[in-house]
Structure 1
Amino acid sequence: MMNELSVMIVDDEKLAREDMQTFIDWESLGFHIVATAVNGRQALKMYEKHHPKIVFTDIKMPVMDGIEFSKALRKIDEQVIIILLTAYEEFSYAKAAITLGVTDYVIKNEITPQSMEILLGKLRQRIETVQRSSNILNDKLIENYFQAQEDNVGILEGRMLEKRLCYLMVEQNLPLNISEEPADADFCVRKQEISEALRGVDYVSMKMKAVSNVWENVTAVILDTELISQNDNYQILYKNAVRVREFLEERFERDFTVFYTMEPLTLPNWKKLCKNNERIFRQRCFKPEEAIVGIVRKPESQSRRADFDKKQLQQLMGGSEEKLEEYIGKIYDDICEAEDYQEFCSLSKKLYACLLEELQKQGEVSDRQELSFKKNWKDWMDAEKIRDWMIRQFKMRMEKSSGGEERRNSRIIAAVKAYIRQNYANPDLTLDEIAEYVHLNTSYLCTAFKQETGNTIKNYITDIRIEAAKKQLDEGNGKIYEVGLSVGYQSGQYFSQVFYRKVGVSPGDYRRYGG
């Protein structure tokens, strides 16, 4: 579907305005008339309100004629397309007006639906070509300027440096890849896709000036505030931040964080603000609940070096689980309190390397897949999840090395059984849900459950459901399909089949004759 281009018609004759509005189907051609005006002065006011891409204007009008209006409009907007509507006797006048900034002219008596369709097609092509070139030029210039180590203002034009603008900065919420494996390409939304999507957002009361990839995973949207008062900047920019996040999450089915400036800034001041407050863009790791974040000047916090001792960790692996958990938790908690992202990453990668060493010591190199990015990325989305995941993994290694795995599995299996007894009536109960509840990989849990009980988890769920159904049938409660629904079977026919397979009689016969 093509984007609609906005049009304004300026003519002092009511009949002429109405004729222009109705003699072709503007919307079917991808155009939308947003305003009309009776003279140049009124047209300037309407332009400030609607900012049409194309203006059709008569020449002879009271108060301010089409030529004066075109000259004034061109000073405001160098890109707007201005088409003069002229009569035969004004032809030479209109032709001369091309040098004053008018884009083109058409003779009123020669306009037909066919000629207008051809003209509009050419205008659309012109606008889209200019827009693509402008986007590529501005976006690349801003990207180069932002990423330059020095404040190389020579990259940009003077007017781009002086204008105060508002900024949104968008980042996809990605897990911290502590295993440093190649991430799944399908998991990350490509920067180009994000940029294209951001150009299609319907921004509230602000004009999108540029979309630029300023950091590896951060895309900036630069917005012009000329349509709103300075007092409204903050509220409207916040609304746009919310709109952008909702738009991207619906479009890509991924989570995003949107950062926004608290006030209009020039490009150099925006760059300085971001460079001096880079830790704001890393705080999602420590505050994942904050999805819309204001970029404000904050005093530098003291970096916190992790008090990590590999030998001490290895000694604790032979001691109690409580002391091991306390040691790892304390190191992480100190870093998280200081919100030191670099040190957090460094510590996590060191601990991950220690986990791999433990696997090798225990001769379980095949278990490395259980520590992979693909298996664990959901547990690596923020600092708290990584901390808890790391403690669980070290406790598992500790129990395996000390022969405590069997005792641990018994506790886990007991928890699984209790969870199933509480949730068997849920028809959507899955193995993945149960495994997530006990913080284990699904395949590992299934193997441990079978070793401990001699039964599969699926079969155990079925046993619990059928026992609950038998109890209801003994008590004479409800119809057969209602009993099935109450124990987790959405299909009455399937419930009867499972019941017969387990009990040897149908639910109806069981109720009539007993077990």
Structure 2
Amino acid sequence: MIKVLLVDDEKLALEYLEDIINWEYYGFEIVGITTDAEQALKLFRKHRPHLVISDVRMPTMSGLELVTMIREIDKRVHILFMSGYKNFSYVKQAIRLGIDDYLLKSDVDEESFLQKILGLKEEIQKECAKNQYTTNMILESLFLKNEPEEHYKSILDENEYIRIHKRYYYLILAKNLVPDFIESYLPSTACSDLAYDYEFDSMCARYAPGYDMQMVSAFAVDDKVNLGIFELAGNLISLKEINDRMYQFSRRIIAGLGEKTSCSFSVYYYAKGCSVRQFGRFYEKNKKQLWRRYVTGKPQIAEFSSGLSGENAEAKAPSVSAEQIFNGIKNGDRDAQRRYIERLKIAIEQEDIVTYLWYAKGMLDAVSRFEGSLLGEKSGRRFSMTESSSTYDFRNPKEVASFLEFKMSEIELISGEDSRGSYSEVIQEALNFLQENYKDPELSTNVVAQKVSLSNSWLSTKFKEEVGIGVSDYLNGIRVQKAKKLLDQSEYMIYEVAELTGFTSSQYFSKIFKQFTGLTPNEYKRKG
């Protein structure tokens, strides 16, 4: 099947393209349909279509800009422009980009369009048969799959076969993101810049000659790591000179990416020449070195060398468990809690990645167990992992420690409510009334004030003074807790839960629910 990507900022135009012919019948597979050029670039990287059919004029990124970026990724992809404008300037630029054709939407009908894409299909099939294997694809397979070079001997000519055995030098680009285990507990704050890997590839090719190097290949290792492969130009030089050259080149890449994208990165270079397959094995054995960027909290440039192996990581792991941490918090053992936080901070100070990850994960696991099960007996305050989490940058390990310290104190505060003095009679009456009538969509501060014979303003002031939060926040807290219990029962639809918990609309319910939990009702339901 020939894979096709359709791009047009007009939905009607996309629908027309999708329906103009029976794509599947003629041997095509539509792998993506989008009105957004940046999303198109993401879909292109994911599916690597053979043919892209795109509009020329789009608001955020023009078709010409999109194709320029696509060409950097794959120079052989076929491009068909369809435009509502007969603009000679566009046509000239399109010709320079080597597109297959520039069609006016007003001239396109089913028959002419079918003949055009069937002609392209024939060209693509011939090229696929001829170029089934490319140097770039082979190097990627050698690295990722540890395939023996001999596997390609019958496919490549002598020079190409020698090339995949050559000694190369390597640059690893690692995104400074929130560690995976934190993202499993809290809403993702991952960088959404889709163009960073394009920028990395482009900069590697552009800047390498200035350091007497040539880029051979670049590809994504996973969604957080990219690899650049280089060969040295000119005469052989010492290992120290190669190391210095790679370091300076890494600095140039970091600086360039800082100007082009909103993401933060660390770069690791490997200056000891070896084949791609050898480096792939070395990377797999030592990739835990990349974890160190989680404890530095800032971009770094470092030599990639023998790092933390699985064996010594296990040997160095602290003996404390998440269960012990949980019990310390649950039992109100302040000394134990202080020890855990202090140990976490020391690990950050010493850049002890194993201890940092162990304690941070254990404490997050322990704290998360209070989610949904801890509710203040008097105030009705519920403990939520996600509440206030947006004010912390979890890429910074010091802020991770501050967040955990804050959440443990919050647990202690809510848990200790039963030891406080009771509320005043009028506020206790208001609390009881809210608990009993939360399903009423007409319930408000004014209704509660009338019930307890206080003015609206006096109730608001006194309620916040004694309970710590406003009447509306307290009521929404009750409703969200009740809603979570209903959502756990799969038979309820979102709108039904909204009605059963007193919300005036499902849209307002979703907004308040996300404010309290960090998730939409649908996301919460899927997570459960």
Q: TM-score, normalised by structure 1?
A: 0.46
